[in-house]
Structure 1
Amino acid sequence: MLEVRGVSKRFRAPDGRARTALDDITLTVQPGRFCVLIGPTGCGKSTVLSMIAGLVRPSEGAILIDGQPVSGTDPRTGFMFQSDAVFPWKTVLGNVAAGPRFRGTPRREAAELARDWLRRVGLSGFEHYYPYQLSGGMRKRVALAQTLINGPQILLMDEPFSGLDAQTRQIMSDELLGLWEQLGASVLMVTHDLEEAIALADTVVVLTAGPATVKKEFAVDLPRPRSVREVRFQPRFVELHEQIWSCLSEEVSLAYARATTSP
């Protein structure tokens, strides 16, 4: 279980003044649940993920995994970044096998694991390609396999499908749901796409305009398994979209007003 307890984060601004990015954020992701953070641009969503991953330390509060404080990077946690975190000098197979190799898995066994995960994400036959030879969607598949091969108990995703065309994004979302249901990991994902958030999540958490705090949590009571395309036509999906957008739009308008009036 992932717990964020009263977490705040302050940064030093270029003018030397302290800036509060996050203020007293509290949320819980239960085992095997899919939670999505959504909020205005620049409100601190990615910072929340970075703190959970142990890459940034909170100024106040605590982050716990199974009751133990996070004090650095944790092998139980996987992080899929917005930008492709692939090694350009390695083949597709080498990229996906890198995690197990780093953790001490013998080369041959790591390669077999990597081939299995490439099959799962639909990249069989591309093992010896390099990242520059792949489309954007294929690179995202590599990044997904690269993250999931390590069997994370907690999966952090920072707008993992941004930059993809609508059709590829939908396919990737469906693939993510299928793989997540097999693994049973706890997921915390950041996105700006409200439809994507509702289609994927068990819980959608709306953050306020900065300094960000939790404004409201919405339980997504749509049945699983889900098809990302088909679920959007359900009346309950439309109802949830209206409720969450009503809550979110106030914060988006506030953030925009601040951005357009600040000196």
Structure 2
Amino acid sequence: MSSSLSPSRLATYATCPRLYDYRHVQDVNTPDRTELYLTQGTIYHETIEDVCDATSRDDDPGVIYDRAMRIFDAKWDEHSTPDDYKSLAHQEYQRVENRTAVESFFEPDGGDGIEHARRSLATECWVECDVDGRALHGKADNVVRTDEGLHIFDYKRNTRGVLSSGTAEYLGAHLDGEAHEPKRVRNAFQTATYIEGVKNEPFYEDGMEVRFSFYGLLNHTSFESTPDGYDVSARGWSRETTEIYDEHYDTIWALIRHAHDGITAETYAPEPFELIHDEACADCDYREMCADRLSPEVRQ
């Protein structure tokens, strides 16, 4: 098997090969960034994981809901610290917002999380695959049993900007060097890795339908002031990319081969340079030290 790579590493290379070099090969340190949303992600991921692992197929929805709320409160106390926030009021607002999202997800009367928990086969499921000599690996948040087969979920804060049927055409443009779409390319890498990887798991049976979706727990939020403070509402939403994977299979695997082969061959020159320079350099943590950006005349 060839070197096994994650969707995240492939996506870093798709953003800029030199970025991959600095971050993963040379291991250059970057300035500290806020841990706020990373911590919140840990909280709702661990909440869902623990609820699913503790839930049986015939558990009452109310029991699942109460379990979720207890676990969320414990996870928030474990991971959230005032240092992550601008003020105690900011921390409290974020607690209420995230707790509301978990409440909505595990709402006893129709919340998607009830069936996600009841039908969960594996959480934080490590998967591996090797397609056309390119080995991939990743960790699926939840693998759910459906009547037709398996549905893999990747839980996110929201699905804004996630690959959709309306933006899938940009995958080909990225491959051809006509557009720079690393975030959507990353979504394609994740879809491919999890769909193909889960087929190597012991619970997969030949002929099973395998689906993959990103699920945004805070996809729709609203805030309303009240005499006593404020009310926060949140609702989750699923963005399935299974059909996109089927329809753009050749393009997605061409993108995977390009990134995978570039990494394994240690090819880190940013190409197409002009496009990467215009689209990626401004947000890069390494822009002040990058010779490719600072000395474009060298490329003439």
TM-score (norm 1): 0.31
The structure with higher relative contact order (CA 8 Å, sep 6+) is 1
Structure with bigger helix share is 2
TM-score (norm 2): 0.28
